[in-house]
Amino acid sequence: MTITFVSAIIDLGRNSWNGFGDTAPKDGFNPNPYQYNKENYLLWFSYYLNFSVPMIIFVDEPYWDDVQFICCNKPNISLIQIDKKWIVENIDAWKYFPRVKEVMESAKFQEIVKHRLQFPNVSVPQYVTNTYSKLDYVDHAIKNGLIKTDYVAWVDFGIFKDPGYHLTKFEINMAHFSQDKIVVPVLHMPTEKDKNIIYSLTVAPDCFSAGFMAGTPAKMNEFNRTFKAIVEFFLANNLTDVEQHLLIHCYYQNPDGYNLLFCKGDYRNIYKILTSF
């Protein structure tokens, strides 16, 4: 059995977000290594160069030259250059952007999350809409005949964001995969409390991680349809949140359809699990 990784890097203007942008050196101190700026994203992505599985990376124009340079024509990595026009025309989730923005700006929603408004998860509509698009990139790769393997996974471009995080093995153990399940990492096993939308919006517990989501092409297509139905349910009820919250409700639609891999407090541990034999 084999697997293909699919990812994307999109210019969302992160440097202008409060608490989520660039941090310039001050008084001789180094920039915060966890800031979501362009330089750090490229550094974190470079960890993927250790893997030999096929990878398909959708790359927004501002990142194109840098990603091409980093990948150095690695034979297992296929880069696809995109721009904002391509994204709007090909990535279905972006149709939700106006409604996500409307919900975020509503007084009712802001009252619910008033203690969290400094976080992009509930205040930056392009960020949230982008999290809804992950499975669309996988779908696009499938529909265009780019997936030649038994399984396909969405992988976050910047998941290796701790400079001190280390893996020692990079071969994927396919024993973790089966044709009838979606593989998703969790930081704690979901509970009845997590099903409460308002609880998860206000407390924001770390349960599901959406940095790795995998299955057969057919299961991933089905998974995307389930996910979109949850997006639309949230929006119809004047609610929105990032994809990892919505995954809780995908799971409870069909718990037997998921293989939850417990990551012991760190979502990047998914790769330690997947490379263990």
Tokens found for residue 75: 């034979």
Q: Residues in the chain with pLDDT < 70?
A: 15-36, 162-165
pLDDT at 268: 80
Tokens found for residue 187: 């930081």
pLDDT at 31: 41
Task: List, as one string, the DSSP characters of 227-273.
Answer: HHHHHHHHHHTT----HHHHHHHHHHH-GGGEEEEE-TT-TTHHHHH
pLDDT at 16: 65
CA distance 30 to 71: 26
pLDDT at 36: 67
Q: What is the CATH topology of the domain spanning 3-274?
A: Spore Coat Polysaccharide Biosynthesis Protein SpsA; Chain A (3.90.550)
pLDDT at 163: 52
pLDDT at 137: 98
Q: Closest Cα to residue 18, out of 122, 160, 97?
A: 122
Evaluated on CA atoms 128, 130, 136, 138, the torsion sign reads negative
Residue ranges per structural domain of the chain: 3-274
- Specify the pTM: 0.92
Task: List, as one string, the DSSP characters of 100-166.
Answer: HHHHHHSHHHHHHTGGGTTSGGGT-HHHHHHHHTHHHHHHHHHHTT---SSEEEEE-TT----TT--
Tell me the pairing of strands 3-9 and 151-155. parallel
pLDDT at 211: 92
CB 163 within 8 A of CB 246: no
Task: Give the angle 202-193-260 at the CA atoms, nearest 5°.
Answer: 105
pLDDT at 21: 43
Task: Give the angle 200-206-210 at the CA atoms, nearest 5°.
Answer: 100
